[in-house]
Amino acid sequence: PLISRSQVRRSAEKVIRCNLPSIQNQYTSRLLRRPGQIAADPSHPGHGLFDTPPPGRKFRSLQTRT
């Protein structure tokens, strides 16, 4: 039988006796971390490809051809 991610997460919380962040929050923070590092580093080759979004918005990248 398949076990849902929420059941696994709930079981892990019981074992470690601590609340875990939601999977959606983890996904969003990890998704935005790398573009944020690139946008913050002016020496990075891809720095100019990202527009810094207002708070709460996702990064947009320009369409490029390779």
Is the pTM higher than 0.85? The answer reads no
Q: pLDDT value at position 26?
A: 84
pLDDT digits (tens, 9 = 90+) for 15-55: 999 998 888 888 888 887 888 888 888 998 888 887 766 77
Note whether residue 13 is domain-resident: yes
Please name the residue ranges forming H helices in the chain. 5-16, 23-40
State the average pLDDT over residues 8-19. Answer: 92
The count of domains in the chain is 1
Q: Are 8 and 15 in contact (CB under 8 A)?
A: no
Note whether residue 54 is domain-resident: no
pLDDT band at 13 (very low <50, low <70, confident <90, very high): very high
Q: pLDDT value at position 16?
A: 95
Range of the domain at 20: 1-34
